[in-house]
Chain A
Amino acid sequence: MFSRKELKKAILTSLWFVFLTMPIMVIKVDAIERTIYWRWLNSLYMAVGVFTVYLLIRLYQHRKNSRQSQAGESGPSVGFLHRLLQNPRQRLLLFAVVGAVVVIFPHFTSTYQVNVMTTALMYVMLGLGLNIVVGLAGLLDLGFVAFYAVGAYTYALLNLHYGLGFWAVLPIGGLFAALFGIILGFPVLRLRGDYLAIVTLGFGEIIRLVLENWGEFSKGPSGISNISRPGFFGIELPLEQAILYTYYLMVLFVIITIFVVNRLQDSRLGRAWIALREDEIACQAMGIDKHKTKLAAFSLGAFWAGIVGVMFAAKTTFVNPASFTFLESAIILSIVVLGGMGSIIGVIFGALILILLPEYLRALSEYRMLAFGAILVCMMIFRPQGLFANIRRHYHYHKKDSSEHDSSGQDFPKSQPS
Chain B
Amino acid sequence: MPAPSPAEQFATLERQGATLRFGMWLFLTSELLLFSGFFALYGAYRATYSADFQAALHHNTLAYGSVNTYVLLTSSFTVALSVSAIRRGAGKAASAWLGLSALFGLAFLVIKAAEYGVHIHEGALPGHWYRFREAPTLGGARFYTLYWITTGAHALHVTGGIGVLLWLAWHARRGRYLPEYHPTFEMGTLYWHFVDVMWIFIWPIFYLT
A and B part of one assembly: no
Residues of chain A at the chain B interface (Cβ within 8 Å): none
Residues of chain B at the chain A interface (Cβ within 8 Å): none
